[in-house]
Structures are given as C-alpha cells and as structure tokens.
C-alpha cells in the first residue's frame, strides 16, 4: 500500500540533493512572495541613493537579508512592506558606515541620471496649458529630491508605492498622526517647488529655449 | 469643524484614509470653506502629478538574475562581486 506522497518527509538519504525539501519550499515561496517586488524595491533604492550602482547593491543586500530571515516574515502580511523596511534599514546602515549624509542631494548627478533615461521614457502627451501639466518628469523628480528626507520619504511610500498609513507608520517608526502631518506638509512644500519649476522651465522660458 | 482640524485631516482625505465619521465632518467643512476646498484640490492634484510624472524604472536584468541565483543557492553569502551595469 503506497501512502500519498509525503512531500515534506525527506529521509536522511536524500542528502545528495544539496538543498532540503524544506529549503526548496522556502525558495519557491520566496520567489512568489518577495522577488515579485523587485521593481518597486529598485525604484525605492534609486530614490534613496540616486545612483544605479548603489541601488543595485542595496537591493541585493536587501534580498540576501530577506532570504535569510524569511522564516520570520509573517505570512499574510504585506511582504512588500516588510522588504521596504529591510531596505530602509540597510540604507541607513550603509550611509552611517560611509559617513555620507542622506538628504544631501547632488543635483548634477540626478540630472545626469535623468538624461540617460530620458530618451527611453519620453512622454509626448504634454500639450496642456495647465502649468502642472507642463512639468517634466525630471522636474517632478528634482522637486521631490529637494524635499527634506522625512517628507520625501512618506510621499514616496504613499503616493508612489501605495502603502497604507499604517504600513508607512510601521516603516518609518512613527505614529500615524505623524505620517498624516508629514504628508500634509510635504505635499505643500512640493507644490511650492513644482510651481517654481513650472515658472522657471515651463511657461516663462520660451525665449530661453 | 475648524480649518486647523480640516488641515490636520487633509492628507488622510486625499489618500482615502479618513474614518467615515471624519470624512463626514471634513466634507461638511469643505462645503462652507472655499479656502480649505482649494487646498484640498491642490493637494489631490499634487498627488496625481507625482503618480503620473514619477518615472518607474525596471530593475536591470542582471540584478534580477543575481537575486534569483542568490535565492536558488540557499543562504550562501554572495561574494563581494562587482555589479554589472
């Protein structure tokens, strides 16, 4: 009489396989749950580091850690939020180690970075007269980067990544009320920046072009 | 509701994070306060602009590959390999 295939039961003999059944299961789950968020993590890392090379490293470190500690990930909770939190911690450690100051923005670097991708992602639908619509991706990006980190961060997590306030509060280790007010103030600051960019590069620059 | 309370709720209103009760009070306030209504509209627009204009990048294939490998090789620590651009 043969028993139904007991997937989880592996005899000591199966050691030939370098990975245990359990490990294989973990891998599969990790791929389904965690690796699907790689684009979001990469974007977040880019926003934090402003450097594709650093972003690569950061995402890789994040996944390495996430894999190691995947056992402690609570199933049913938001895996993307969990990964973001790991990435954020990695980022903080890295900056502390390198004694670089987060928040200090190298505008030339951002510009260069943007120009390298601009051609591939051109939006040709910007014909509206509304000054907001005259803004280019680069300007919005620059305006975002000009915000103090605490504001930029919540805007990124909320507007770009679509996390709930509760998830954001957990990620930035602050109460929800703080998240609310940072979003409020951050958006206000951003609006001022965007208007300035629009004025500078949009409407009043016809003769400069 | 006063304007300062409405401002406190502004971002949560934009993001659909208000409770029913807060939402009712907030909506009532907007009906009688053009200044907060204008600010609310601006805030919604700012959010929309960010969502529309922020470029989303795709992770480079080399990065995806190395992470797939990493998870396939178990918990082995990757060497300090130089990243491929």
**Strands, E assignment, A10-130:** none
A29 and A63: one domain? Answer: yes
What value does the mean pLDDT take over residues A102-107? Answer: 52
Looking at chain A, which residue has its C-alpha nearest residue B14? A184
**In chain A, % of residues over pLDDT 90:** 27
Q: Give the range among A95-104, A105-114, B56-65 with minimum mean pLDDT.
A: A95-104
Cα separation, A116 vs A183, in Å, equals 30
Chain A residues in contact with B17 by the CB 8 A cut-off are 164-165, 180
What is the total count of domains within chain A? 2
Structural domain includes residue A197: yes
Q: Which two tokens stand for residue B29?
A: 């306030």
The answer to whether residue B29 scores a pLDDT higher than 80 is yes
A115 and A193: one domain? Answer: yes
Query: DSSP letter string over A151-180?
Result: HHHHHIIIIIT---HHHHHHHHTS-HHHHH
Domain boundary among A42, A76, A98: A98
Structural domain includes residue A48: yes
When pLDDT is cut at 50, 70 and 90, the band that residue A106 belongs to is low
Q: Give the range among A27-36, A39-48, A89-98, A180-189 with minimum mean pLDDT.
A: A89-98
A132 and A84: one domain? Answer: no
- Inter-chain touch A194–B59, beta carbons under 8 Å: no
pLDDT averaged over chain A?
Answer: 75
Q: Give the range among A31-35, A90-94, A195-199 with minimum mean pLDDT.
A: A195-199
Looking at chain B, which residue has its C-alpha nearest residue A62? B67
What value does the mean pLDDT take over residues A58-70? Answer: 91
Question: Domain of A44?
Answer: 19-98
- Inter-chain touch B46–A121, beta carbons under 8 Å: no
Report which of residues A200 and A164 the model is more confident about.
Answer: A164
Domain with residue A27: its CATH number is: 1.10.1740.10
- Inter-chain touch B49–A27, beta carbons under 8 Å: no
Report which of residues A171 and A122 the model is more confident about.
Answer: A171
A185 and A116: one domain? Answer: yes
Per-residue pLDDT of A128-140, as tens digits, reads 445 555 566 777 8
CA of A128 vs chain B CAs: smallest distance (Å): 13
Domain boundary among A78, A98, A118: A98
Cα separation, A34 vs A26, in Å, equals 11
A93 and A24: one domain? Answer: yes
CA dihedral A157, A161, A164, A165 (to 10 degrees): 10
| pLDDT at residue number A161 | 92
Q: Is A35 in the B-facing interface, judged by CB distances under 8 Å? A: yes
What value does the mean pLDDT take over residues B17-37? Answer: 95
């Amino acid at each position: 009489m043969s028993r139904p295939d007991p997937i989880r039961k592996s005899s000591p003999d199966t050691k030939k396989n370098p990975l245990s059944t359990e490990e294989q299961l973990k891998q599969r789950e990790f791929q389904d749950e965690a690796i699907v968020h790689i684009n979001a993590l990469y974007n977040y890392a880019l926003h934090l580091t402003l450097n594709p090379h650093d972003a690569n490293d950061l995402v890789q470190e994040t996944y390495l850690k996430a894999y190691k500690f995947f056992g402690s990930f609570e199933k049913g909770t938001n895996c993307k939020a969990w990964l973001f939190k790991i990435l954020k911690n990695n980022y903080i450690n890295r900056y502390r180690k390198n004694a670089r100051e987060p928040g200090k923005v190298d505008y030339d670097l951002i510009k260069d970075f943007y120009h390298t991708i601009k051609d591939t992602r051109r939006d040709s639908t910007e014909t509206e007269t509304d000054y907001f619509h005259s803004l280019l991706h680069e300007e919005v990006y620059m305006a975002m980067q000009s915000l103090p980190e605490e504001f930029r961060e919540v805007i990124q997590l909320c507007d770009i990544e679509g996390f709930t306030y509760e998830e954001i509060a957990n990620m930035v280790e602050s109460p929800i009320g703080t998240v609310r007010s940072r979003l409020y103030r951050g958006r206000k600051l951003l609006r001022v920046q965007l208007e300035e960019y629009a004025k500078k590069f949009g409407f009043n620059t016809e003769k400069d072009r | 509701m006063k304007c300062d309370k409405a401002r406190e709720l502004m971002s949560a209103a934009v993001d659909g994070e208000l409770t029913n009760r807060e939402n009712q009070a907030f909506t009532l306030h907007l009906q009688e306060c053009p200044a907060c209504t204008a600010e609310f509209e601006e805030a919604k627009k700012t959010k929309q602009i960010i969502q529309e204009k922020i470029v989303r990048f795709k992770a480079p294939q080399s990065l995806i590959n190395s992470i797939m490998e990493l998870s396939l090789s178990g918990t082995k620590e990757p060497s300090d390999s130089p990243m491929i651009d």
